[in-house]
Amino acid sequence: MNRKWKLPILAGLVALLASMSGCGFLNKLRAKNSLNEGVRDFNGGKYAEAQGLFAEALQYDPDNANAQLFYARAINAGFEQKQTEELGMKALDAYQNIINHNKDNPKAVDQALAFESKVYDELAGINPKEADQFKDKSRETLLKRSSVPGATNKVKADVYYTIGQGYWKDSHALSGQYTKTLANGKLEMQTIPPATVAQMKNDILKAHEYLQKALSIEPDYADAWVYEKLVYMEETKVETNSAKRAELDKKIAEAQENYKKYHEQQQAAAQAAPSP
């Protein structure tokens, strides 16, 4: 080919590549601007406006993990305000989108799973008929956090602690229906029906299982020891054998001592830490 024809063709290819590169750069810049404006609206409580701007950022840059997360958080903020099942499901879809598109970004996946679990918990309160299913989904989602690549021992311990705490809460809600406050302020347990006892025993067993998992990772987890104590207290409400109740009282005292010891250690470490 004649040299004089090569140069215009080469120049055209360079110009085409430059324009393609420039378009991508411009879109990323536009996405960044929309994201920044959206964050300002989000921080100002203008969640609907922020959601629109985050959606705009995603149109310019669909793979922008920050835009995906803020878009989900804006939807979630609207859900927190109105607490409707429809908005909750929309928030779940937004968080799932983050998980689906960020397989190589463990931090983004972890954050999305944490928020997703919380939404499921709130949906359990909104829709009592499907509360058990939503709680199970919340626990499944939390457990996924513990298997995200690079998950720290702290994350794993927190996951197990949160699940154990949730099972205690379920048992306590059941026993609370049969707890009467006397005139002198003391509590009196009424007879708990056998079906409720069976349900409580299952919740208690699960609570111990997950709290012990948390403590196997972090034996000095003070808050986990608090809930171990509370779970043992729940257990005394359904235990009729006097010898076993006495053993439970010992475990309650032991858990309280462990909490006190590790809580004091944490306070001392916090006081000794240098000021930021």
Q: Give dist(CA 24, CA 36) in Å, integer.
A: 18
Which of the given ranges, 79-83, 105-109, 183-187, 204-208, has the highest pLDDT on average?
204-208
Q: Give the global pTM.
A: 0.82
Which range has the worst mean pLDDT, 26-30, 69-73, 162-166, 212-216? 26-30
Beta bridge partners of 261: none
Reported as a single tens digit per residue, the pLDDT across 21-46 is 456 778 888 888 889 999 998 999 89
Dump pLDDT digits (tens) for 109-129: 999 999 999 999 999 999 999
Q: Are 70 and 50 in contact (CB under 8 A)?
A: yes
Percent of the chain whose predicted confidence (pLDDT) is above 70: 91
Encode 55-120 in three state secondary structure: HHHHHHCCCCHHHHHHHHHHHHHHHHHHCCHHHHHHHHHHHHHHHHHCCCCHHHHHHHHHHHHHHH
* Residue-wise pLDDT tens digits, 82-102: 899 999 999 999 999 999 999
Least confident interval from 4-8, 31-35, 210-214, 245-249: 4-8
Overall average pLDDT of the 124-144 stretch: 96
Phi, psi torsion values for 181, nearest 5 degrees: -90, 120
Q: What is the pLDDT of residue 63?
A: 86
Backbone angles phi, psi at 71, to 5 degrees: -60, -45
Mean pLDDT, all residues of the chain = 89
For the cut 90, the answer to whether the pLDDT of residue 270 exceeds it is no
Q: Coil, strand, or helix at residue 50?
A: helix
**Mean pLDDT value of segment 216-243:** 97
